[in-house]
Structure 1
Amino acid sequence: MNARTPRLEEVASLAGVSTATVSRFLNNPAMVAQQTAQRVQAAIVETGYLPNLNAGALASNRSRLIAALVPDIAQSIFNDTMEAMIEQLSADGNSVVMSLTGPDNRRLEAQIDAALSRRVDAIILTGIVSDLETRKRLKSQSATVIETWGLPEDPIDVAVGFSHAAVGREMARFLHGRGYRRPHLVVPRSGRSQARASSFAEHWMADGGEQPSILEVNIPSHFGQGRLAFRGLTDLEHRPDVVVCGSDWIAQGLLVEAQAAGVRVPDQLAVTGFGNLRLAGDMRPTITSVDIDGARIASEVHRILRARAAGEVLPSSLVDVGFRIIARESA
């Protein structure tokens, strides 16, 4: 025989609160006083009560489902951001479903379809959607759409990120100011990386430098690409004095290969990365990199979704979290 399903009224009675307070706790724990929330949570545990999320969604017109779409999670620069984001959103009673769109976003449309069919409250995208039809379709939906890790001129809904073109510009100025003259770019085949590389080359030449040499590599970027990139330097007409890598993983591989070949870094060859992963500070020499505040991206997404749930009007559709160049031993 199946056990009887605990009821909301039993939780309220045991906690010494009204059923409305229990519902408020289930819908938005932050709206309930801490001591009251603790009593309600203890009553839920004791009774084994499980809320009917489908019924709650119908009543509130909110599913409390949030879709977070990322290209990949293996050696991904987005991992820390996603972890912080899921933790904060889950604390508000949301269920975050993370889906992989693939390095070239080949599964993006299928994952968007799956999210919309489940009536998610929000879709969080990693990067900027370039397909115009997909952008148009998402604009027509009622779900909140947040593009992250970029700042489009015309966001689908809201964007939280930074300018990749600005990263390229500032890296060109940084290296020019340090006296480097012959940069070589190792560029993953992604829109973000190519935007940084194009901006770097434009501003480098505007400051009087020659056209940088470029090596394009597949995505996702990885350690082995850096090793191959170093070996390919001997094939260049002019040996570079600095290699600008599209990720810290590539920079790490290049540094390891340079050290094995007896090349002194940065005296004979300087190296920069992107992402400021933990390995950038753990390597020897430490890697000069571009730091993106992933925790702030997560917090801004959390703030936006809270505001939307409360019916508030957002002051802006663009949130620029900026970036920093972290100068270390490699350049």
Structure 2
Amino acid sequence: MSDLAELIGVTKVTVSRALNTPELVSSETLERVRAAVQQTGYTPDLIAGSLASNRSRLIVALIPAIAGSVFQETVAALTAELAAAGYQLLLGQSGYDESREDALLDAIVGRRPAGIVLTGVVHSEHAKQKLKASGIPVVETWDITRAPLDMLVGFSHQKVGEAAARYLRERGARRPAIVTPGDHRAQVRAQAFVKAFDTARDIPVVSVESPANLGDGRRALRRLLDAHPDIDAVYCGADIMALGVLMEARHRGLSIPGQLKVIGYGDQNFAVDTDPPLTTIRIDGTRIGKLAASMLVEKIETGAGKQRKVDVGFTLVERETA
């Protein structure tokens, strides 16, 4: 910054204002500073800046998976909303293992971000204690609990499972099965489905490691039909598994939904274009991201927030597979 000031012939304070609060300097000075920055390739030291101001402009979000996941809408909304407020988003991929989340939080908290966004509400005691002691604003997302760590934007996975069970039963299913990822939230949905379907018959379940893929869905239906050829419906804990189920059903010559009804979870961008279009449960990931960003920024900048907990609910999207 001193080099820039000398090059332009102004004070360091003027350069700082041009970079951080451009509305406080004249347009002529601002253009000179920007030209010098481009000429020299200068990049502000954000760590030094946050130490000097005791304020970071960095928000960290931990999500289980990035590629091809239901969390993409949330990440996109978080990025846009935070950028509009002058904050940058850094992503960490935590997987579905508490120990991985613990390791990331150990690395993150010491760097003093302005805020943290977490996926889910199930964390180790180590993580809970570290986050509470840090004093960093935290928003938990994509789940619900009566006792959030700080702030929360989510929905009930139990109610998702119950809604899927009611819908399939209303559509005439009597011998359902479940294919699901093995992570905690997916298991809550599956267990709620079993309880809500309310049948004396055991509901077969095939559970696979998270994150699940298309092939998992095909193999799961193969296993189910080999052991339970009379099943007439499948609840899938992820849309990508539902796509695999549809492919395997077609391979076996089963009509959808005549012989086999299928319902997914997530309403990912391909769901409307499957053949037939997939009945599924939609989560408004964009709204989750926008709310998480606004709640964080409000608490960071005012020390308090108007909202502590928001249940965004979900929507059962009726298409042609069930």
Does structure 2 retain, via aligned residues, the 8 Å contact 1:126–1:147? yes
Query: Is 1:296 aligned to residue 287 of structure 2?
Result: yes
* Residues 188-233 of structure 1 deviation map (CA, whole Å, 9 limit, x = unaligned): 111100111111111211xx56442211111111000111012112
Match of 1:47 in 2: 36
Aligned-partner Cα distance in 1 for 2:29–2:110: 33
Q: Quote how far apart the aligned CAs of 1:86 are.
A: 1.6
- Comparing 69-78 with 209-218, greater Cα deviation is found at 209-218
Map 1:97-112; keep pairs closer than 5 Å. 97-112=90-105
Residue 248 to residue 59, structure 1, CA distance change in 2 (3 Å): same
Match of 1:29 in 2: none
Residue 85 to residue 277, structure 1, CA distance change in 2 (3 Å): same
| RMSD between superposed Cα atoms in Å | 2.9
- Comparing 51-60 with 268-277, greater Cα deviation is found at 51-60
Q: Quote how far apart the aligned CAs of 1:44 are.
A: 5.0
Residue 40 to residue 67, structure 1, CA distance change in 2 (3 Å): farther
Aligned-partner Cα distance in 2 for 1:255–1:123: 38
Q: 1:183 aligns with which of 176, 181, 185?
A: 176
Q: 1:221 aligns with which of 197, 212, 225?
A: 212
Q: Which amino acid aligns with 1:166?
A: K
Map 1:245-256; keep pairs closer than 5 Å. 245-256=236-247
Query: Is 1:25 aligned to residue 21 of structure 2?
Result: yes
Match of 1:117 in 2: 110
Q: Which amino acid aligns with 1:267?
A: G
Does structure 2 retain, via aligned residues, the 8 Å contact 1:244–1:271? yes
Match of 2:124 in 1: 131
The runs of 5 or more residues in structure 2 that have no matched partner are: none
Aligned-partner Cα distance in 1 for 2:234–2:68: 21
Q: Quote how far apart the aligned CAs of 1:266 are.
A: 0.4
Aligned-partner Cα distance in 2 for 1:176–1:315: 40
Match of 1:6 in 2: 4
Aligned-partner Cα distance in 2 for 1:319–1:136: 23
Query: Is 1:271 aligned to residue 262 of structure 2?
Result: yes
Does structure 1 retain, via aligned residues, the 8 Å contact 2:138–2:151? yes
TM-score, normalised via structure 1 length = 0.86
Q: Secondary structure at the match of 1:5?
A: helix
Query: Is 1:305 aligned to residue 301 of structure 2?
Result: no
Q: Secondary structure at the match of 1:290?
A: strand
Q: Quote how far apart the aligned CAs of 1:129 are.
A: 2.8
Q: Which amino acid aligns with 1:47?
A: A
Match of 2:231 in 1: 240
| Paired residue total | 317
TM-score, normalised via structure 2 length = 0.88
* Residues 31-62 of structure 1 deviation map (CA, whole Å, 9 limit, x = unaligned): x69xx999897565323164443343134321
Q: Which amino acid aligns with 1:280?
A: A
Match of 1:67 in 2: 60
**Larger RCO (CA within 8 A; separation ≥ 6):** 2
Q: Secondary structure at the match of 2:3?
A: coil
Aligned-partner Cα distance in 1 for 2:26–2:315: 40
Aligned-partner Cα distance in 2 for 1:164–1:240: 24
Does structure 1 retain, via aligned residues, the 8 Å contact 2:105–2:127? no
Q: Which amino acid aligns with 1:86?
A: T
Does structure 2 retain, via aligned residues, the 8 Å contact 1:11–1:43? no
Aligned-partner Cα distance in 1 for 2:26–2:300: 20
Q: Secondary structure at the match of 1:184?
A: strand
* Residues 266-317 of structure 1 deviation map (CA, whole Å, 9 limit, x = unaligned): 0000111110001111111111111011110111011112211221522332
Aligned-partner Cα distance in 1 for 2:29–2:167: 55
Sequence identity, in percent?
Answer: 36
Q: Secondary structure at the match of 1:310?
A: helix
Does structure 1 retain, via aligned residues, the 8 Å contact 2:266–2:281? yes
Q: Secondary structure at the match of 2:122?
A: coil
Q: Secondary structure at the match of 2:275?
A: coil
